[in-house]
């Protein structure tokens, strides 16, 4: 790639980075404004106790609910005085607290089910600061940890815990970048919380912003946040040298033409010339789907269009089975969980699930991933009976008769 093309790709990557990141006041990670329907502030216990039990010891908290006159009963386990294992919300009407928690549980579960993204977080500490050239104060969460609700029945109290597959604590990435860009301030990296508590870390943050007249409030809250695109931004930033050299990225940036397959691509009318013995598809495929599969096998980059119900997931499953037969590794990525689940179900129905490792699933906790890798490495699959030469010849003959 010449220097002009490389510069064009670099500019495009910078454009992509800017589109991924939102450091404006619209982003709740930068400008936090509590809402009555999706935010809970906790009064007790203190920040160190909450953080240690939830994050360091990986144990759940139960949310205490104030008693309601019309709901006193034997199942009201969280009624009356709060216990040591319960978080106490700030003053809020019991009915409203129930509505907030139902809303948080519903929205966070829906987002994870549809897109595999965690949006429910506990926040530890708030930075009260001012933007460059502005007089008004901004409030931003400092440390976040993803949580999920659990509840046995509608009459039991809500519990929160850190999901098994998620990071335990995260330094607010939007705040970190905002302070870097606007004030050239580097927030300290998160420590080993087995050795340093959250209060000590917040003191380190105070020292990092010392002299700015800003305050750190050691408050604990729960709310909805989304910053998965910031992870993509960081990936582009950290790997820019590798990214700009990739031929597909170069083509997407308009600097070069899309790379072409080294071997000739088949035409639709040539599909029936392919030997049946060299086909390893596990599902039915029409000619347009066959063409996509052959393009993939030839190493051609392409876009497969089609409205719902036209067999895209079926074609992807066939591509994967072909690549497995050719000894290839496949990474199947989708923005929506449903697409991953449909393709996995098709492969499982054909007994190919032993070749699949779920990397983005509520089942993909560390222990299960390690166990799955161990099982796959130690498993000796038995070869099933293949078609004889006579059967393959008969298959080719009948295919010709159908045409």
pLDDT tens for residues 128-145? 999 877 778 899 999 999
- Distance between CA atoms of 236 and 234, rounded to whole angstroms? 5
Cα 180 versus chain centre, distance: 25
Residue 150's closest CA among 182, 109, 186?
109
Other CB atoms closer than 10 Å to residue 152's CB: what's the count?
8
For 82-102, the pLDDT digits (tens) are 888 899 998 778 788 889 999
Say what the pLDDT of residue 361 is.
Answer: 60
- Counting runs of H as helices and runs of E as strands, what totals does the chain give? 13, 9
- Distance between CA atoms of 32 and 127, rounded to whole angstroms? 10
Other CB atoms closer than 10 Å to residue 346's CB: what's the count?
19
Query: Is the distance from CB of 208 to CB of 183 less than 8 angstroms?
Result: no
Which residue ranges in the chain fall short of pLDDT 70?
68-80, 165-167, 360-366, 380-385, 403
| Verdict on whether the full-model pTM lies above 0.85 | no
Residue 150's closest CA among 70, 75, 61?
61
Lookup: tokens for 3: 């220097």
Say what the pLDDT of residue 362 is.
Answer: 58
344: phi then psi, degrees, rounded to nearest 5:
-60, -40
Residue 225 CB contacts under 8 Å (≥ 6 apart), including other chains: 28, 29, 119, 121, 123, 141, 144
DSSP code at position 270: G
Every domain of the chain and the residues it spans = 1-20+232-259, 30-226, 264-402
Query: Is the distance from CB of 227 to CB of 173 less than 8 angstroms?
Result: yes
């Amino acid at each position: 790639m010449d220097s002009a093309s490389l510069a064009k790709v670099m500019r495009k990557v910078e454009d992509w980075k800017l589109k991924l990141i939102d450091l404006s006041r619209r982003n709740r990670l930068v400008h936090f404004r509590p809402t009555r329907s999706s935010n809970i502030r906790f009064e007790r216990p203190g920040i160190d106790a909450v953080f240690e039990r939830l994050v360091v010891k990986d144990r759940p908290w139960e949310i205490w609910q104030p008693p309601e006159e019309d709901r006193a009963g034997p199942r009201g386990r969280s009624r009356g005085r709060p216990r040591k294992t319960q978080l106490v919300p700030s003053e809020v009407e019991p009915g409203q607290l129930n509505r907030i928690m139902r809303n948080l549980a519903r929205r966070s579960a829906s987002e994870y089910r549809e897109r595999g993204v965690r949006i429910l977080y506990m926040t530890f500490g708030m930075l009260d600061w001012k933007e460059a050239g502005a007089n008004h104060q901004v409030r931003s969460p400092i440390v976040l940890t993803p949580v999920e609700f659990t509840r046995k029945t509608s009459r039991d109290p809500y519990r929160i815990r850190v999901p098994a597959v998620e990071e335990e604590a995260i330094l607010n990435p939007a705040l970190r970048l905002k302070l870097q860009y606007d004030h050239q301030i580097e927030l300290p990296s998160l420590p080993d919380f087995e050795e340093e508590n959250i209060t000590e870390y917040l003191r380190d943050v105070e020292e990092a912003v010392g002299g700015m007249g800003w305050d750190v409030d050691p408050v604990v809250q729960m709310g909805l946040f989304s910053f998965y695109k910031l992870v993509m931004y960081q990936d582009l930033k950290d790997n820019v040298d590798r990214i700009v050299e990739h031929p597909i990225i170069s083509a997407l940036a308009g600097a070069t033409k899309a790379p072409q397959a080294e071997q000739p691509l088949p035409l639709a009318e040539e599909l029936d010339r392919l030997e049946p013995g060299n086909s390893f598809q596990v599902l039915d495929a029409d000619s347009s789907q066959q063409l996509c599969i052959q393009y993939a096998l030839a190493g051609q980059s392409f876009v497969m269009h089609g409205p719902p119900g036209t067999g895209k997931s079926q074609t992807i499953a066939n591509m994967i089975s072909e690549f497995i037969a050719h000894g290839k590794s496949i990474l199947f990525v989708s923005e929506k969980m449903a697409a991953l689940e449909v393709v996995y179900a098709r492969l499982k129905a054909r007994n190919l699930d032993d070749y699949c490792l779920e990397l983005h699933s509520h089942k993909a906790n560390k222990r299960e991933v390690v166990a799955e890798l161990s099982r796959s490495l130690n498993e000796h699959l038995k070869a099933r009976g293949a078609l004889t030469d006579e059967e393959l010849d008969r298959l080719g003959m009948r295919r010709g008769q159908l045409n």
